[in-house]
Amino acid sequence: MKTVAVFFGGRSAEHDVSIITALSSVIKPLELTEKYKVAPVYITKDGRWYMHDKLKDIKQYQGSGIEELLASIKPVSIDFDGGFSLVQSTRFGQKRMKIDIAFPAMHGTFGEDGSLMGLLDMANVPYVGCDLQSSVVAMDKILSKAVAKEAGLPTVQDVTFSASEYHENSSSMLDRIEQELSFPAFVKPPHLGSSVGVMKVIDRASLTEAIDTALHYDNNVLVEKAVANLREATLPIMGYGDTIIPALLEEPLFNSDEFFDFDTKYLRGGKGGKKAGGKMSGKQGAQGYSNVPANFPEELYAEVESIAVAGFKAAGCCGIARVDILIDEKANQVYFNEINPLPGSLYAHNWAKAGYSNVALVEKLIEFAIARFDERQKLITTFDTSFLKQF
Amino acid sequence: MLQATEYNIGSYLSWFHRTRDFSKVIRRKSLVYTQKAMLLVFIGIAVYLTTIIIAILIALKGGLAVLISAALIIVLPVIIAYLLVIPLVVGQYAIQKPKERRMLEAAQARLRKQHCRKIAIAGSYGKTTFKETLATILSETLHVAASPGNMNTPIGLANFIQKLDGSEDVLIFEFGEERVGDVKRLCELTHPNMGVITGISEAHLSSFKTMEAVTSTVLELREYLKSYDVYKNGENEFITAVIPASDHHLYSEEGVNGWKVSKIATSIEGTSFVATKHNKTIWAHTSLIGRHQVGPLVACIDIADKLGLSVTDIAEGIKKTKPFEHRMQPYTLLGATIIDDTYNGNLKGVAAGIDVLKSAKANRKIYVTPGLVEQGELKEVNHVKIGHMIADSDIDEVVLMNNSVTQYIAQGMKENGYQGHTRIVDEPLEFYTNLSHYVASGDVVLLQNDWSDNYA
């Protein structure tokens, strides 16, 4: 039986969301396949790695249990032994677990952003989801928009700049934003997910404040013109190579003058708060308050789906990702917005409606991971030369 | 395990002798701490501790005594397994049996005073559904009482009889049978004046040993009710083998006793048909699922007609019938339709369920079964047949609970070239508890049969 290591937690603002993704949508379904031995690898907020069967139990994380458990076990270390093994010190020596497949279930920095994928590439182990390159593109809102534009996809008008450019002459940058975009607009730190640090601005004062906030999170800033008559849509997609499978278009429900910040998304169960669905769960999805499938006219649905799929391909995504779309309903204009390379809880609620059970979803994702790995094994990455003989 | 076998000592010992690995025998249910269970646990612990003390005292003598003590401790679990039977046997003969005898006498005396229509339902399968359907229809205009759940033993029925208020127009009794003479004994307890034989199958073949014994036991109802109407399932080959086709009370999807059935339509939403007899026409619609429901329903129509219900009342009554718990009972899970038929325990029922799944419109058709228990010498043949049915029914995924019949179902599927996906599950409870992880919108999932721990 092959061992699948599921990585979750991590040094990220979305640490807790990652725990839910791993426990509800990855570990349990993987175990239910009865095909794999599942090793939970929990990464603490300060970056230590732990592996223990008790880490599969949500109750461990709901009180002080997790601290007590972690105090009783040793962190694991990594061994690149011609593959990828996790090594744990025990009273009786070392316990070594060879990992056959990795399943990253991490959101945000040091996990979803390509860092973990780079490590797994180095270890030459198959892993689920977007690879290093596509994760980097997807997790950078500026870069992903540039890639989408290059692919001919419509995007919302924006102004981007670095911290040093802003600090060099903030006044002229603010002037430029006002002239090119006008208000309202959105200020975003380009590398953070789950709307962390995103602010809606309505005048120069709020713009200045939002940029200062964004620069606490990132060295670059993306300011986007707000889309009027807004409807949003999001589309989970999975696939590799020629096989691209879109789930159902989902429309988060909220008024056009509002947007979902982290608190709304994860802590209040969507705009309707607890009454509308309570805390986030895998069944409800990150938004917890949405229409699946989106109630769009047939033509609009097809257009949104096609732009989302094109965005997935343009960024080179593989495995699974979720593409967000903005729509100006009156102008009938659809915009590519951003890509989330690891949707919360894999957006399992949406996939279930699209006909993929949780078990079928993880099985499919592992299929894609192995197909990509096998394909990459065929590539030549080294060759013999006489270069060193010159010295 | 004694509790799982309902304190049936024979079944318990049979399980004990058959089981080789006792490390993991509880897969489906856990112990419920009833008074009886607590008493047995207490006796077990007391015997255990006493024996340990005795063993230590013996061992203190040294030499060979140490070996004897060690041997005593090693065989202790086996001794306790047998010793637990003793208080049960004593309890049964000293307390339970005299109490039961008094209950049965009281029930007989109680029924003698009540002159009403008493309908007995016997058969290897389909009894509970028939009973509930008939009770629902007749209740449109009559005061009906039916034995609850599957309380179909003499004591179960005696309990039911004691609760009657005497004003009932119709009493409906479900008869259970496990040994030759069981149906006759229940007839003598309840004195029915109308009967229904719902079908004969290999259920309980382990205790009956032969199909002849099963057939003759079920037909004890017909013997008892010589001068009364006995409805029989004309779609059951064991019945048609012994009952002439000219019998007016043979019911089927074509009709019964002059009623003709037409325009049958079935889906996972329900079943509808038209029944006509002379100038009477009934447009029947029920949420009961499956074409095999039509025969029993038309038999209910004839009984209701005989007891004076109008066609309107009968149609209304049929409309109120609905699937019963764990018997082709549909529910929705994450947009998937789950059909719970886990109380089904016979090959005919398996065929009917698979037929419904075959005709269902679904994204994926998933069939889940542990197989059938108590199939006696037909265990292999019947499970190979189930495999054949699966392979011939356009089913996308089959989930088998790993046990002693899995190989036969898999063999049948292979023989008929099954093309879909097969999943063999080692932990049934884990599967059923996490069903939501296995299904998706548009799936139709049929859960059939049940397989408690004592059959593993």
- Return the SS3 of B420: coil
Residue of A nearest to B399 (CA): A33
Taking only the tens place, the pLDDT of each residue in B393-402 is 999 999 999 9
pLDDT at position A90 is 81
Residue A114's pLDDT is 93
CB contact under 8 A, B434 and A354: no
Band (pLDDT 50/70/90 cuts) for residue A157 is: very high
What pTM was estimated for this model as a whole? Answer: 0.78
Span B370-384, mean pLDDT? Answer: 89
Under the banding of pLDDT at 50, 70 and 90, the label for residue B454 is: low
Residue-level pLDDT at B173: 97
- Mean of the pLDDT values across residues B41-65? 84
pLDDT in the model for residue B11: 76
- 278-337 in B: which are within 8 Å (CB) of A? 334-335
Is B431 in the A-facing interface, judged by CB distances under 8 Å? yes
Of A313-322, B55-64, B389-398, which gets the smallest average pLDDT?
A: B55-64
Residue A269: the pLDDT is 46
pLDDT at B59 (0 to 100): 84
Nearest to B441 among A29, A32, A355 (CB): A355
pLDDT range class, residue B89, cuts 50, 70, 90: confident
**Strand-pair partners of B369:** B400
pLDDT in tens, B270-308: 999 999 999 999 999 999 998 999 999 999 999 999 999
pLDDT digits (tens, 9 = 90+) for A338-371: 999 999 999 999 999 999 999 999 999 999 999 9
Q: Which of A26, A27, A34, A245 to mutate to test the interface with B (most CBs of B within 10 A)?
A: A34
CA nearest neighbour of B155 among B191, B101, B196, B208: B101
**A120 or B16: which carries more pLDDT confidence?**
A120
At A280 the pLDDT is 39
Contact B163, B146 (CB under 8 A): no
Asked whether the predicted pLDDT for residue B65 surpasses 90, the reply is no
- Judged by CB atoms closer than 8 Å, whether chains meet at A358 and B425 is answered as no
Chain A, residues 339-368, CB within 8 A of chain B, namely 351-360
What chain B residue is nearest to A363 in terms of C-alpha separation? B438
- Indicate if the pLDDT at residue A18 is higher than 60: yes
Which chain A residue has its CA at the smallest distance from B363's CA? A355
Average pLDDT value for chain A: 89
CB atoms within 10 A of CB B49: 10
DSSP alpha helix (H) spans, chain A: 15-20, 28-32, 65-72, 115-123, 132-138, 141-150, 163-168, 170-181, 204-217, 262, 298-314, 348-353, 358-377
Which single residue is written with the structure tokens 């005497």? B166
Place A263 in a pLDDT band, splitting at 50, 70 and 90.
Answer: low
pLDDT digits (tens, 9 = 90+) for B132-150: 999 999 999 999 999 997 6
Euclidean distance between CA atoms A262 and A280, whole angstroms:
11
This model of the complex carries an ipTM of 0.82
Q: CA-to-CA distance for A326 and A60, rounded, in angstroms?
A: 39
Chain A residues within 8 A of B436 when measuring between CB atoms: 358
Q: Which of B297, B322, B381 is nearest to B347 (CA)?
A: B381
* DSSP at A280: -
Q: What is the pLDDT of residue B27?
A: 61
Sign of the dihedral through C-alpha A108, A110, A116, A122 = positive
A41-to-A66, A87, A98, A108 alpha-carbon distances in Å: 13, 12, 13, 17
Q: Is it the case that residue A385 has pLDDT exceeding 90?
A: no
Task: Determine whether the interchain pair B441/A360 forms a contact, defined as Cβ–Cβ distance below 8 Å.
Answer: no
Contact criterion met (CB < 8 Å) for A32 and B437 = yes
Cα angle, residue A200 at apex, residues A196 and A206 outer, rounded to 5° = 110
B434·A32 Cβ contact <8 A:
yes
User: What is the C-alpha to C-alpha distance for residues B128 and B203, in angstroms, rounded to an integer?
Assistant: 15
Which residue of B426, B430, B438 is in closest CB contact with A357?
B438
Chain A residues near residue B335 by CB distance under 8 angstroms:
352-353
Q: How far is A231 from chain B (nearest CA, A)?
A: 25
Contact call for B335 and A352, based on CB within 8 A: yes
Those residues with Cβ within 8 angstroms of residue B55's Cβ, 6 or more apart along the chain or in another chain: B69, B70, B72, B73
Cross-chain CB nearest to A28 (options B423, B426, B434): B434
Residue A277 reports pLDDT greater than 50: no
Query: pLDDT value at position B453?
Result: 55
3-class secondary-structure state, position B88: helix
CB contact (8 A) between residue A360 and residue B440: yes
Burial state string for B310-319 with b = 16 or more CB within 10 A and e = fewer than 16: ebebbbebbb
pLDDT at A279: 35
Among positive and negative, which fits the CA dihedral A50, A52, A58, A64?
negative
DSSP string for B117-145: EEEEEE-SSSHHHHHHHHHHHHTTTS-EE
Closest alpha carbon within chain B to A349: B334
B438–A32 CB contact, under 8 Å: yes
Residues above pLDDT 90, as percent of chain B: 58
Sheet harboring B397-401: ordered strands across? B329-333, B336-341, B444-448, B365-369, B397-401, B421-425
Mean pLDDT value across residues B7-13: 78
- The C-alpha of A59 sits at a distance from chain B's nearest C-alpha, in angstroms, of 18
Counted across chains A and B, CB pairs separated by less than 8 A come out at: 43
Question: Is B233 a residue whose pLDDT tops 70?
Answer: yes
Q: Does A35 touch chain B (CB under 8 A)?
A: no
Instruction: Give me the helix-helix angle, A298-314 and A141-150, nearest 10°.
Output: 110
Least-confidence region, from A231-245, B57-71, B117-131, B318-332: B57-71
**Local confidence band at A283 (pLDDT 50, 70, 90 cut-offs):** very low
Structure-block tokens of residue A366: 């592992």
